[in-house]
Structure 1
Amino acid sequence: MTEEPLVTIGMPVRNGGQQIKVAIDSLLAQTHRNIRLVISDNCSTDDTVAICREYAQRDSRVVLHEQAQNLGICGNFRFVLMQSRSDYFMWACHDDIWAPEFIQRNLANLMAHPTAVCSTSRVAMVTLEGESHLSNGTFALEGDRVQRLQRFLWDPGEVSRFYGVFRAEPLKRSFPADIDVFGYDWIVMALNLLEGEHLELSEVLLTREDHSEDHYQRTLLRREPRRFYRWMPHWPMTQILRQRLPPEVWRAGRAGVMRRNLIQSLMYAKYRVPLVAPLVRGLAAVDRALSRTRGIRAA
């Protein structure tokens, strides 16, 4: 086992419940055996800690951190990343399921392409009702950094690439400590694309829970007291990208960022004022048609 590269898996969790058992079992069953599963419990109030303690006692590859204070979602994701001492890293959610060869296949893909910093498979998004569709956020991003960022920022999709296998050090450089805003995962992926290419395997090797259409709007309403940032939730993300991206990259990608701001504002409007839903759907159809004309992958 020690001849295989070590891959650190970071699992940030709060109130994972019984779902976390299936997730951990599928990670420990990976054909690539040399893994270290770092779980960070963010002040759970259910039986998550007890479940994770049991796994840590049974399998020496499992390490559990019990946070004394709530780190927030962004902080907890960054915490598990910074615990990595291996060359490769991946995040894992407590309600996802991985095919046994997920790590092995993506790791081999990375090792075969030295200029790449991330490899992911295609991802199936499954609703609680059992309906399934492919994630639109795993497509390969190659070429120079301007090309990579322009394509990503135009339409990041569901950003399922966030759950691929990464080279650890470039990913750490891509996750500053001061980006705890709505859309922080898009910021991390944008900064990581400055480091190198993202690859995609054609097989579906990861299944993720698909949240309802208004899930993020409900979360935004619950966590954001300021009215302006409810209607413009990506404005803080926009400011961070403008500050941190090289000027030529920002100029190439800013139209896409503005598009994301408009889309999120319309999504929030549809949630708060259901009567505008037909208008929003019509604008979405026009946008998809224009995106196809531009030759850019549409949502």
Structure 2
Amino acid sequence: MTEDTQVTIGMPVRNGGQQIRTAIDSLLSQTHRNIRLVISDNCSTDETREICREYARRDSRVTLHEQPENLGICGNFRFVLMQADTPFFLWACHDDVWAPEFIQKNLENLQRNPQAVASTSRVAMVTPDGRRAMSNGTFALQGPAADRLRAFFWDPGEVSRFYGVYRTEALKRSFPEDIDVFGYDWIVMALNLLEGEHLELPEVLLAREDHDADHYHRTLVRRQPRRLYRWMPHLPMAQVLRRRLPPEIWRACRGRILRRNAIQSLMYFKYRVPALAPLIRTLSVLERARTRYIKAI
């Protein structure tokens, strides 16, 4: 069954530059050959479109959509998902690299576990200067739905689980149109955890580019004109979750969601007031120690 199963890979991109060649090459070299790569170029101003056209001409598995208007990050991720008509799907970033067995092993994992809707490997985060660290955002989430969401919101990490292999229809149900807010990927993951369990393979089969600590806050400043939502970055996310989660799940998770808001507010405070960074780093160390203790008991 695995070899006959077609998988759609959705690659939303804007100004991917030459990095996109390495990403596409690693995807087209997967041991699971029955794939369809859907690239959505979001109004790139560099050589990205021509590079993608080249791949589409050479390999019939590659389809390129050249967007006439900028869909935004969230909109572009949703666009490639909605193009999928295959049983399984994964998102791919232009600056990541996959081991050849990534799709095959995650697909086999899902086929062995019908209660699961997502599977990913462990993930290495790689800085521009080559330093590597393990992502803390791929751990398995199993058991009752409320337990899955509570565990997720306690420490989502870099949300590297977002780049696993998914059951397509369950993922489409998890990505409504009206969630274009800071943290939309957390919303998608939360709604997907209502659909079923998330699994993790022990191998490291994906390397992701690691951004500096202030990358997301610079993005927030560019995209968010309202000052309140800059200082409380995940408030819009919490409002969406309150509307979208079943009432009993919201009540079980709201304390942890509010905790995430507090942490992100402190991180933004550090970005805006660098003089207080040492104090906030100390609080962060204490919080991580508390998290490790809670996970151990």
Q: State the TM-score, normalized to the length of structure 1.
A: 0.97
Structure 1 residue 40, shift from structure 2 partner? 0.3
SS of 1:94's equivalent in the other structure is coil
Matching of residues 272-283 of structure 1 within 5 Å = 272-283=272-283
8 Å CA contact 1:6, 1:86 repeated in 2: yes
Partner of 1:11: 11
For residues 142 and 66 of structure 1, the distance between their equivalents in structure 2, rounded to whole angstroms, comes to: 39
| 1:235 counterpart = 2:235 | yes
8 Å CA contact 2:123, 2:160 repeated in 1: yes
Structure 1 residue 3, shift from structure 2 partner? 5.0
Partner of 1:39: 39
| Distance of aligned partners of 1:46 and 1:282 in 2 relative to their CA distance in 1, 3 Å threshold | same
For residues 256 and 202 of structure 1, the distance between their equivalents in structure 2, rounded to whole angstroms, comes to: 27
| Distance of aligned partners of 1:261 and 1:3 in 2 relative to their CA distance in 1, 3 Å threshold | closer
Partner of 1:247: 247
Partner of 2:149: 149
Q: Which amino acid counterpart does residue 5 of structure 2 have in structure 1?
A: P
Q: How large is the Cα RMSD of the aligned pairs? A: 1.4
For residues 218 and 102 of structure 2, the distance between their equivalents in structure 1, rounded to whole angstroms, comes to: 32
For residues 212 and 220 of structure 1, the distance between their equivalents in structure 2, rounded to whole angstroms, comes to: 14
Matching of residues 121-200 of structure 1 within 5 Å = 121-200=121-200
Note the alpha carbon deviations across 1:165-221, whole angstroms, 9 max, x for none: 000000000000000000000000000000000000000000000000111111111
Note the alpha carbon deviations across 1:107-165, whole angstroms, 9 max, x for none: 00000000000000000000001111000100000001011000001111100000000
Partner of 1:213: 213
Structure 1 residue 68, shift from structure 2 partner? 0.5
Q: Sequence identity, in percent?
A: 73
Which deviates the most, 276-285 or 84-93?
276-285
| Distance of aligned partners of 1:3 and 1:263 in 2 relative to their CA distance in 1, 3 Å threshold | closer
For residues 46 and 296 of structure 2, the distance between their equivalents in structure 1, rounded to whole angstroms, comes to: 44
For residues 23 and 294 of structure 2, the distance between their equivalents in structure 1, rounded to whole angstroms, comes to: 39
Structure 1 residue 295, shift from structure 2 partner? 2.2
SS of 2:70's equivalent in the other structure is coil
For residues 289 and 129 of structure 1, the distance between their equivalents in structure 2, rounded to whole angstroms, comes to: 28
User: Which residues of structure 1 form unaligned runs of 5+?
Assistant: none
8 Å CA contact 2:2, 2:107 repeated in 1: no
Partner of 1:291: 291
Q: How many residue pairs were aligned? A: 297
For residues 173 and 22 of structure 1, the distance between their equivalents in structure 2, rounded to whole angstroms, comes to: 31
8 Å CA contact 1:42, 1:71 repeated in 2: yes
8 Å CA contact 1:127, 1:210 repeated in 2: yes
SS of 1:270's equivalent in the other structure is helix
For residues 152 and 2 of structure 1, the distance between their equivalents in structure 2, rounded to whole angstroms, comes to: 29
For residues 296 and 145 of structure 1, the distance between their equivalents in structure 2, rounded to whole angstroms, comes to: 21
For residues 189 and 150 of structure 2, the distance between their equivalents in structure 1, rounded to whole angstroms, comes to: 12
